[in-house]
Structure 1
Amino acid sequence: METTNKLKDINEVLEFLYSEFPQCFKQKDGIKPLKVGIFKDIAEKIEGSEKVSKTQVRQALRKYTSSWRYLEAVTKNEFRVDLEGAQAEKVEQEHVEHAQKALEESRAKMAKRKKQQRPRNDGDTKSYKSKGPGHPRHANKKAKVNNNKKPAPQQQRRSSGKVEPLPANEVKVNNKVKVKLGQALVNATITEVNKDEVHVELVTGMQVKTKADSLFIL
């Protein structure tokens, strides 16, 4: 007979983590960066559980570690914590920088989304047109656009270094790699290999599913 206790919603899985590992997972206050490899520890604890699956835990971890509160915690705490809340390894500077970048990008996307949803005021639109391109407000707008484009050359310079694809025989659990996310290469650790799919854990603790051809030598 099918169990009725099986969790379905991702938020229910998060609630499960809050209740099962209260010293590690926090809803709001007291959030700490998670130990690298925390997924493996959780997987061992829930082995054989009829309530939650490893796939659900991975999805819940992805949501937990991509939240603004968690990313802020990575930038503000010196050490990570394990499932019992005990101090684990130190948060490396590159992890802090990656969390800061992810936080900035997430907030920028949110601001852009809100701006697009904001109803346009026809009166304001007309006043912009009547003032002409020489008006200071137009100049400010141009400046903002240019400022947004400044980081691009820096990103190109950072990613222009030669990187080598990860050999097939090196696609193994626990190997340190670089994974391609969009145009960026991010340090990660392989946590699971399932045929063509490879699961990696980013430096922030986020769980990501990718392909072997997106992995590069660290």
Structure 2
Amino acid sequence: METTNKLKDMNEVLEFLYQEFPQCFKQKDGIKPLKVGIFKDIAERIEGSEKVSKTQVRQALRKYTSNWRYLEAVTKSEFRIDLDGNQAEKVEQEHIDHAQKALEESRAKMAKRKKQQRPRPDADAKSFKKKPTHAAKNATSADKTAKAAPVKRSGKIEPLPASEVKVNNKVKVKLGQALVNAIITEVNKDDVHVELVTGMQVKTKADSLYII
């Protein structure tokens, strides 16, 4: 029976990248922003590898580029690097702003999670507080609705024509309520893989892509 040597754990896949491309991927110190389109470069280098698949590499890249240290590197570095550690294109201000926002949101979520896990000895006392009036409830509900309402954008946003869903084309991809600049790295039937300005790999659908 044929055995497979492919790695299964995501940390093992990351370890593979650290060892295979030591000038590019770093665990802690020396992290630099990756060049745009680096997934394609990795895919070419590992073609025929018995250890990792392209899907695993894409998932590992998503984890690597969403790490706080990596996002901080994007905000502080002037240039990106290729697989051999050579200087690539300059980090654009838009990429820095996006990384800063992602970093702030990630830290806010972590702080909120820690706060929720923290024991509250006064929880019983709080339960006896006066309940808000009906009017107060309505006011609070109205405030939440106002905050949740998406910001209206000026200018028309046009969907990306099917003829333009091609590898290396620059697009805007819809993530929640936000539109983020990206580049198409792979088109597989209905699935489209894009690389965000931070370097993160995302799988989406063609109808979530828009013209820049």
- TM class, shorter-length: 0.7 to 0.9
Query: Aligned to 2:151, which of 151, 156, 161?
Result: 156
Aligned-pair identity in percent equals 84
Moved more, 112-121 or 50-59: 112-121
Residue 185 (structure 2) pairs with residue 180 (structure 1): no
Structure 1-normalised TM-score? 0.85
Contact 2:183 2:196 in 1 (8 A): yes
The letter for the 2-side match of 1:31 is: I
C-alpha separation between the residues in 2 aligned to 1:199 and 1:152? Answer: 29
- What SS does the aligned partner of 1:156 have? coil
- What SS does the aligned partner of 2:7 have? coil
- What SS does the aligned partner of 2:49 have? coil
C-alpha separation between the residues in 2 aligned to 1:100 and 1:126? Answer: 36
Q: Which residue of 2 aligns with 1:53?
A: 53
Offset, 1:156: 1.1
Q: Which residue of 2 aligns with 1:137?
A: none
C-alpha separation between the residues in 1 aligned to 2:155 and 2:8? Answer: 43
Offset, 1:149: 10
Map 1:11-160 to 2 at 5 A.
Answer: 11-122=11-122, 125-126=125-126, 129=129, 156-157=151-152, 159-160=153-154
Contact 1:68 1:103 in 2 (8 A): yes
Which runs of no fewer than 5 residues in structure 2 stay unpaired?
A: 133-142
Q: What is the CA deviation profile of residues 51-78 of structure 1, one whole-angstrom value per residue up to 9, with x for unaligned ones?
A: 1000000000000000000000000000
Contact 1:32 1:81 in 2 (8 A): yes
C-alpha separation between the residues in 1 aligned to 2:147 and 2:80? Answer: 30
C-alpha separation between the residues in 2 aligned to 1:113 and 1:2? Answer: 45
Q: What is the CA deviation profile of residues 137-168 of structure 1, one whole-angstrom value per residue up to 9, with x for unaligned ones?
A: xxxxxxxxx9x999878x715x4542100000
The letter for the 2-side match of 1:156 is: V
Structure 2-normalised TM-score? 0.88
Contact 1:3 1:50 in 2 (8 A): no
Contact 2:4 2:50 in 1 (8 A): no
- What SS does the aligned partner of 1:187 have? strand
Which structure dedicates a bigger proportion of its chain to helix? 1
Which runs of no fewer than 5 residues in structure 1 stay unpaired?
A: 134-145
Query: Aligned to 2:206, which of 193, 199, 212?
Result: 212
C-alpha separation between the residues in 2 aligned to 1:29 and 1:150? Answer: 43
Q: What is the CA deviation profile of residues 167-200 of structure 1, one whole-angstrom value per residue up to 9, with x for unaligned ones?
A: 0010000000000000000000000000000000
C-alpha separation between the residues in 1 aligned to 2:101 and 2:72? Answer: 11
Q: Which residue of 1 aligns with 2:197?
A: 203
The letter for the 2-side match of 1:10 is: M
- What SS does the aligned partner of 2:151 have? helix
Offset, 1:116: 1.3
Q: What is the CA deviation profile of residues 30-65 of structure 1, one whole-angstrom value per residue up to 9, with x for unaligned ones?
A: 000000000000000000111100000000000000
Offset, 1:126: 4.2
**C-alpha spacing 1:63/1:119, structure 2 compared with 1 (3 Å):** same
Contact 2:23 2:84 in 1 (8 A): yes
Q: Which residue of 1 aligns with 2:7?
A: 7
Q: How many residues align?
A: 202
| Cα RMSD for the two superposed structures | 2.4
Contact 2:23 2:85 in 1 (8 A): yes
